[in-house]
Chain A
Amino acid sequence: MMKQNFMFTSESVTDGHPDKLCDQVSDALVDRFLQQDPFSKVIAECAVSTGILFIAARFASSASIDIPEVARQVIRQIGYEQADFNARDCTVMTSLSELPSLPHPHIDEREMDEEELEAVTAKNQANVFGFACNQSAAFMPLPISLSHKLARRLTAARFQKQIPYLAPDGKTQVGVEYREGRPYRIHSITIVATQEKTAMRGVGPLRDDLNAHVIEPVFAAETLRPDSRTHIFINPEGLVADGGPSLHSGLTGRKNAVDTYGEYSRHSESALSGKDPSRIDRVGAYAARYAAKNVIAAGLAQACEVHLAYSIGISRPVSVQVDTFGTGSIPDTEITARILDQFDFRPAGIIRAFNLRYQPQLFRGVFYRRLAVYGQVGRMDIGLPWESTDKAALLR
């Protein structure tokens, strides 16, 4: 049973946050490899600290890519132009090793027959989770949904020069109070904004600007808005100059909750960014979300978590668990049966369903990178295949 009355806080970070910067570099590399060679195998991990960006990439691909240049592009586009950290001057250390390429020619998952789809098995033991609930239009938990909106708005305010002195790094948190399992009021809002060292403002002006250009526009369209008792924390630990990698270091895969459901439901420990579609721990999470979201869209429950367990050498998940936390209109086992009927959870099936190998080409080389910030699920801005509710009718 789901808890009835509680408070829940989720956080999001802007694209300039060092951890997210690393995620974006990792996924930008995945994009570039897949763009040139859709059958690239690539694992890209990234770490950043003052002035140095480390990239460890292992790949098997016919693509050839200037990896530091890709990283510099990401840094440039995020907008780091500080003396301590910028696209031009930062040092990029790459550690590259090539994986042995597969001996036989690749088969395009889109052209595979049933037997071939079955033959592509999971290469790892993996638990993946998908979640959806009817707390927001995107079927995401409200705290993470609001945090992402604030983070996006924070970045937009910088780019649109509404708050021109902001630096790229930032963090937002939204605490939501629940009554009887439903969001009841906004308990608290936290924004940590960083400022360019060269144009620092005091706490007062910053608070006014953030209120006017970030918080108000975000909540204008929301049904639940901050009330007089809502705590609003602006930079609770003081002003931050520059921020970013010159202040704190970052690492790929350290913001898994931001990528998923803001800790509101379970999420896998393994990171999503920096992996090509052949990795079940990445694409499985998308498939699970797809199933969960369609369950909600079909009106079968108010909240739904789908857990897929994969095992080495087997293509179908060895276990599919659905939990509606007592909100289901039909038994969870019945939902499980229906989604097993409608969804293909085999690795090759997922790649085929979401066209994962060709998305970077369709999106002109920027697909996975966009997932790396503001959530890999619950995105309504890209037209992600796993956010589509096309199977809802079939589940009813």
Chain B
Amino acid sequence: MSRLFDQMQRPSSLGTGAVEAEPLELVRLVHVAVEGRARLEVQGLYRCDRVRHKLESALRKHAAIREASANVLTGRVLIIFDPARDLEEIKTWLEQLLLDAGQEIIPENSVDDGRSLRSSGRPISPVISSDFNSVLPQKGENWHVLSSEIVLASLETSKELGLSQASAERKLGHFGVNSLPETLPRSGLSIFLGQFKSLPVALLGVSAVLSAATGGLVDAAVILGVVLINAGAGYVAESQSERTINALGHVAEQNAVVIRDAQLREVAAESLVPGDILVLTPGTRVAADSRVLESRNLMVDESMLTGESLPVAKMVNRLDKQNVSLADRLNMVYMGTVVTGGSGLAVVVSTGRYTEIGTIQSLVGETRPPETPMQRQLSILGNQMVLLSLSICGAMFLIGLVRGYGWLQMLKSSISLAVAAVPEGLPTVATTTLALGIRTMSRHKVLVRRLDAVETLGAVQVICLDKTGTLTLNRMSVLALHSGGRRITVDKDVFYDAGVRTDPYQNDELLRLIHAAVLCNEVELNGERGNYVLKGSATEGALVHLALAAGVSVDALRRCYPREQVEYRTETRNYMSTTHSVRGGGKLVAVKGNPVEVLEMCRWWLKDGARLPLTEAERTAILMENDRMAAEALRVLGFAYTEPKQTDQSSADELIWLGMTGMADPLRQGMKELIALFHQAGIDTVMITGDQSGTAYAIGKELGLSSGTELDILDSTRLDQLDAEVLAGLAQKVNIFSRVSPANKLQIVQALQRSGKVAAMTGDGINDGPALKAADIGVAMGDTGTEVARNVADVILEDDNLGTMIVAVSEGRTIYNNIRKSIHFLTATNLSEIMLMLGSIGTGLGTPLTTIQLLWINLITDIFPGLALAVEPPEPDVLQRPPRDPREPIVGPADFKRYGLESLTMSAGSMASYGYAMARYGGGPKASTVAFMTLTMGQLLHAYSCRSDHISIFSHETLRSNRYLDTAIGGTALLQWATVLVPGVRNLLGNTPIGPLDVAVIGAGSVLPFFLNEATKGATFKGKRGQDLLSLPPPSKEYG
């Protein structure tokens, strides 16, 4: 009583005794380990946006504070400050600020419903209002420990009358709309501007300005054109994918039935306020977090929130313990969950972003996604190329000056060479390739939400799979029965006894078992015969489905034995029993529940239609069968019945054991093959399930998760208690995480990442959000997935078919390879231009290429083959190779060496031609033309060489042809010859006509390097290939 009194006095201090015991501080230092960085807990900030706003703006004005961010979910502020300043000083200043601002904040707070009050009811400062009437217990977690009367009183509402319309409207003003904040799509402008944020583009801009300043307006225009084409292509690609994403379906408008002014009303879910009385009926989606007031067998599917696939029974009584997990708060219902059975009333306690879902969604907004490998590498590569070309151009400029060329001419040449050398096509090629990949994948019903996720897909080393819904159908069905000492299996609605098809009507005890399963069952059967709609729990639905499969007329049977009485299972009694009246007098009692408990009550059993006493041996046999079924991934229920004499009251003693049913959530088709495909592609698979380990093992074995080696299962309900390093070490080995809650998925994914793996994670529930976001590739289901999951995922499988993941992986790898090919081509050709220029100027042969020729190469001959290489078809062995090492750069030192050698052969060929032309014609346009033609033709041929780094024209293996590349090279070659054959174009580029001998020299200068490069290809790769294992006998497992 005294405790209750205490609660009445200080409702907001409930369960926070520990806090009360300490002296309360306005500002508490939480984390100060890093110099110049501190985390502070601020009273009044928790769940109060206004305080946050005030704090942030005030903090930012403080001279010593560089950055400040306040979090309303944790009630903490992170500040980055001048390390020279004393933190205590800042703290005192902050406390003063809060005290001063108190006058200003209070009135807002009391209007704001006092939500800022986290834990204390004591009047300790002006910020914390002590006004009893306006103070509500705000800590969402506390509602379950209050009795429903106190909840109703503190929310100023009543169960019978509900809120009045007027007070509901007033409250709506205070509490805000009951909707979850949606993630804003990126604006078109920000996408467009994003395209300019790269160093190569900046350099091109500088080049353009310089060109313009030195009078090269045409050059400047061309450079700007290059930049704009780049940005345009990037913009088109990215905004298209953004559009695809935003086009994903939104949740439809939702209504809720509430009691207001003592009447039932249907209102928009957004207008719900704390204090509203929700009417819950089967099928209702709970529209706000509420405390249950009445429960008539209210069952709620909380899988969205807790991942538990079986519905939870709700009750009214208050809970004693404060620190129980969401799943165990049996007197609360939460926004987003669905009523699956029974009915009830509940009073809304939190709305909108203050609901549990809202909190999770805000948490999602705070987990930072890791930068993908390509992002890092492309920017590094781009910067390297810029530095390289800048220094080379600078060197060339100086050499030119030393050699006595005019400085203006050298400046122009240098700038145009810089433009040619910077692989500004690189981002374009990458973006376009990725965007094209997105389009290809969407044809396979794979939606990619982020551009760079495409290439991360190719690097995925481990994929974490949700069992329920991803690997399984998320549908319960009976797979096995045990009756009369016989094991009967059910496959596709057909019954088998020891592999032989059997008819339940030929088996008395089996038929009786099915009858009892239908009678002791509350599933409603609607609709036509052959097209029934089952309404009720998944388990009971499975039993009715079983009866229908057996040919039992469920409706008729239930009419024959009308149900008189139901005794539900309770916490202490793990079974349910129903009493039915029998036509012609008499009664029938059917019992269903935990096999151990039901068996204990039985004295008889049925075998071959005869009633026999249950001996100890039979009991043991039944219990062992129960164990076995449980370990075979089945959920087991026991059944019994009796037909008591009217007078006999102690009927339970005479129960007759009928048998057991084992049901499971069946695997989707093709999963085993899919797992094998993942393994073949070098991708480890990890299954995450809430099942017991025995069940998990059975499924893991069936799926071949460990591909023949030992299966490692980590069974834990408290992964969060495990040392992070230990978990990271274990995670590398584990095939299955069993008995874990969806919240642990985040830890699993982080553990895998800590051990250096690129991890993909599937999920569809709301609480999967943080894990999906943290994963390198978050995979959400498009059809059954929740909005939260879809919004944070990198990849969405539109048809919920996991099989498309392997397509996505293949596509991702191909795209990565193709981008490598493009980079290969662009780097090698750009280097050859630099070498040719540098070589000629260095040896005093003058400038072989004019500015406009360089830009022509840059714009025409580089871009199109580069783009065409980016759409190469997959190499034949793309899914037989292990994923690439994410730490390996996209282009490594060995690659650069190889590219350098290739460009050397190309520039040598061009130099030779140039030398020949110089010798024959002297310096001038004629020689330039020959050099220009040799170089470009050599480059075009080189595009073919870039198609594979290990398959050459001399290899046995052949590549699938790439139509785009053939077209691009053919077209570009035609254009190229047009520059010498078509007079108009010829004049523009300053070319001259050429003779047959020149053509022969050009041919030799371009083809010879090609053959040389092809012949030397793959030499460096041979070591890795063809190392087949000698055929050894299979290793023994018996040792030890």
Question: How distant is the Cα of A95 from the Cα of B726 in the complex, in angstroms?
Answer: 16
State A30–B714 Cα separation when bound (angstroms). 20
B residues near A89, Cβ cutoff 8 Å: 716-718, 721
Provide the bound-state CA to CA distance between A117 and B1038, in Å: 22
**A122 within 8 Å of B by Cβ?**
no
Q: CB of A277 within 8 A of chain B? A: no
- Stretch from B94-102, B626-634, B676-684 contacting the other chain: B626-634
B617 to chain A, nearest CB (A): 10
Given the interface pairs A36-B627, A51-B722, A52-B722, the reply to whether A96 lies near B717 with Cβ below 8 Å is no
Q: What's the nearest-Cβ distance from chain B to residue A123, in Å?
A: 8
User: Which residues of B have CB within 8 Å of A99?
Assistant: 1037-1038
Pairwise interchain contact A64-B694, C-beta atoms closer than 8 A:
yes
Q: Supply 5 further A-B pairs (C-beta < 8 A) apart from A68-B738, A69-B694.
A: A64-B632, A91-B716, A92-B714, A95-B711, A96-B713
Q: Does B995 contact A (CB under 8 A)?
A: no
Min CB gap A39→B, angstroms? 15
Contact status of A95 and B712, CB under 8 A, knowing A66-B631, A68-B693, A69-B694: yes
Shortest CB–CB separation between residue A122 and chain B, in angstroms? 14
| A43 interface contact, C-beta 8 A | yes
Whether B646 sits at the interface, judged by CB under 8 Å, is no
B694 touches A94 (CB 8 A): no
Does B624 count as interface, using CB distance less than 8 angstroms? yes
Q: Report the minimum CB–CB distance from A333 to chain B (whole Å).
A: 36
Q: A88-B717, A89-B717, A94-B693 are in contact. Are A64 and B712 (CB under 8 A)?
A: no
* Residue of A63, A92, A364 most packed against chain B (CB within 10 A): A92
In-complex Cβ contact of A96 among B630, B710, B718 (8 A): B710
- Which of A69, A90, A93, A97 contacts B692, CB < 8 Å? A69
In residues 615-657 of chain B, which contact A (Cβ within 8 Å)?
620, 624, 627-628, 630-632
Kindly state the separation between the CA atoms of A63 and B698 in the bound complex, as whole angstroms.
Answer: 12
B628 to A: closest C-beta gap in Å: 5
Whole-angstrom distance between the Cβ of A97 and the nearest chain B Cβ = 3
Alpha-carbon separation in the docked complex, A91 to B713 (Å): 10
- Of A63, A68, A98, the residue contacting B628 (CB under 8 A) is A63
Instruction: Answer yes or no: A303 CB below 8 A from chain B CBs.
Output: no
Q: Which residues of B from 166 to 190 have beta carbons under 8 Å from A?
A: none
- Any chain B CB within 8 A of the CB of A67? yes
Q: A66-B693, A69-B692 are in contact. Are A94 and B715 (CB under 8 A)?
A: yes
| A35 in contact with B1037 (CB, 8 Å) | no
Q: Across the A-B interface, give the 4 residue pairs with the lowest CB-CB distance, nearest first.
A: A66-B694, A97-B710, A64-B631, A91-B716
Contact of B716 among A56, A58, A92, A96 (CB under 8 A): A92
- A36-77: CB near B (< 8 Å → 1, else 0) gives 100000010000000110001010000111111100000000
B730 within 8 A of A: yes
12 pairs of residues in contact across A and B, judged by CB atoms under 8 Å: A43-B1040, A52-B726, A58-B1037, A58-B1040, A64-B627, A68-B692, A91-B714, A92-B716, A96-B697, A97-B709, A99-B1038, A364-B620
In the assembled complex, A202 has its CB within 8 A of some CB on chain B? no
User: How far does the alpha carbon of A274 sit from the alpha carbon of B566 in the complex, in Å?
Assistant: 48
Give B726 Cβ to nearest chain A Cβ, in Å. 7
Evaluate contact between A68 and B715: CB separation under 8 angstroms. Answer: yes
Q: Which of B620, B631, B709, B721 contacts A51 (CB 8 A)?
A: B721
Cβ of B941 under 8 Å from chain A: no
Residue B399 at the A interface, CB < 8 A? Answer: no
Q: Give the size category of A's interface with B.
A: 20 to 34
Q: How far is A67 from B696 in the complex, measured between Cα atoms in Å?
A: 11
| A residues near B624, Cβ cutoff 8 Å | 35-36
B734 at the interface (CB under 8 A from A): yes
Q: How far is the CB of B933 from chain A (nearest CB, A)?
A: 66
Are B697 and A67 in contact, CB atoms less than 8 angstroms apart? yes
Known: A35-B624, A58-B1037, A91-B722. A65 touches B631 (CB 8 A): yes
A93 close to B693 (CB less than 8 A): no
Q: Is A100 an interface residue (CB 8 A)?
A: yes
Say whether A65 contacts B694, CB under 8 Å: yes
Total A-B Cβ pairs within 8 A = 94
Cross-chain contact A97 with B711 (CB below 8 angstroms): yes
CB of B394, distance to nearest CB on chain A (Å): 60
Decide yes or no whether B277 CB sits under 8 A from chain A. no
Q: Is residue B719 contacting chain A, with contact meaning CB distance below 8 A?
A: yes
B1040 (CB) vs chain A CBs: closest residue: A43
Which B residues touch A69, using CB under 8 A? 692-694
Given A93-B712, A94-B713, A100-B1037, A66:B734 Cβ within 8 A: no
Could you tell me if B694 and A91 are in contact, using CB atoms closer than 8 angstroms?
no
- In the complex the two chains form, is B628's CB within 8 Å of A64's CB? yes
The minimal Cβ–Cβ distance linking A351 to chain B, given in whole angstroms, is 18
CA distance A99 to B714 in the complex (A): 21
Query: Are the C-beta atoms of A67 and B1037 separated by less than 8 Å?
Result: no
Query: What residues of A have a CB within 8 angstroms of the CB of B739 in the complex?
Result: 68
**Is the Cβ of A95 less than 8 Å from the Cβ of B710?**
yes
CB distance from A280 to the nearest CB of B (A): 14
Which of B630, B631, B712, B722 contacts A94 (CB under 8 A)? Answer: B712
> Smallest Cβ distance from B836 to chain A, in angstroms?
61
Name the distance in Å between B360's Cβ and chain A's nearest Cβ: 24
Q: Residues of A contacting B726 with CB < 8 Å? A: 52
Whether A91 and B734, one on each chain, are in contact in the complex, defined by CB atoms closer than 8 angstroms, is no
Q: Given A43-B1040, A89-B718 in contact, is the A67-B730 Cβ separation under 8 Å?
A: no
- State in angstroms the CA–CA spacing of A88 and B628 once bound together: 22
Of all chain A residues, the one with the shortest Cβ separation from B739 is A68
Find out whether the CB atom of A67 lies under 8 angstroms from the CB atom of B693: yes
- What A residues does B711 contact at CB under 8 A? 94-97
Residues of A within 8 A of B631 (CB): 64-66
In the assembled complex, which residues on chain B have CB atoms less than 8 Å from the CB atom of A96? 697, 710-713
Q: Could you tell me the distance in whole angstroms from the C-beta of B893 to the nearest C-beta in chain A?
A: 40
A93 to B739, CA, bound (A): 12
The interface centre, meaning the residue of B620, B631, B698, B733 with most chain A CB atoms within 10 A of its CB, is: B631
A67 and B712 contact, CB distance less than 8 A: no
List residues of A (174-226) whose CB comes within 8 Å of B's CBs.
none
Which parts of B712-749 form the interface with A (CB within 8 Å)?
A: 712-719, 721-722, 726, 730, 733-734, 738-739
A residues in contact with B712, CB < 8 Å: 93-96
Q: Across the two chains, which residue of chain A brings its CB closest to B693?
A: A68
Most buried by A among B692, B698, B716, B730: B716
- Cα-based distance from A68 to B631 in the complex (angstroms): 11
CA distance A89 to B734 in the complex (A): 18
Question: For window 76-109 of chain A, which residues contact chain B by CB distance below 8 Å?
Answer: 88-100
Instruction: Name the distance in Å between A85's Cβ and chain B's nearest Cβ.
Output: 10
User: Which of chain B's residues have a CB closer than 8 A to the CB of A63?
Assistant: 628
**Chain B residue nearest in CB terms to A364:** B620
**What CA separation (Å) do A219 and B51 show in the bound complex?**
72
Residues from chain B with a CB closer than 8 A to the CB of A35 are 624
Asked if B719 contacts A91 (CB within 8 A), the reply is yes
A93 cross-chain contacts in B, Cβ below 8 A: 712-715, 730, 734
Contacts A91-B718, A97-B709, A100-B1037 given; does A67 touch B628 at CB 8 Å = no
**CB of A94 to closest CB in B, whole Å:** 5
- Residues of A close to B738: CB separation below 8 A: 68
CA distance A123 to B631 in the complex (A): 31
A52 cross-chain contacts in B, Cβ below 8 A: 722, 726, 730
Q: In the complex, which residues of chain A have a beta carbon less than 8 angstroms from the beta carbon of B697?
A: 66-67, 94, 96
Closest Cβ–Cβ distance, residue B618 to chain A (whole Å)? 14
In the bound assembly, the distance between CA atoms of A94 and B624 in angstroms comes to 22
**B715 lies within 8 A of A92 (CB):** yes
Report chain B residues within 8 Å CB of A88.
717
What separation, in Å, do the CA atoms of A65 and B734 have in the docked complex? 19
Compute how far the CA of A243 lies from the CA of B698 in the bound complex, rounded to whole angstroms: 35
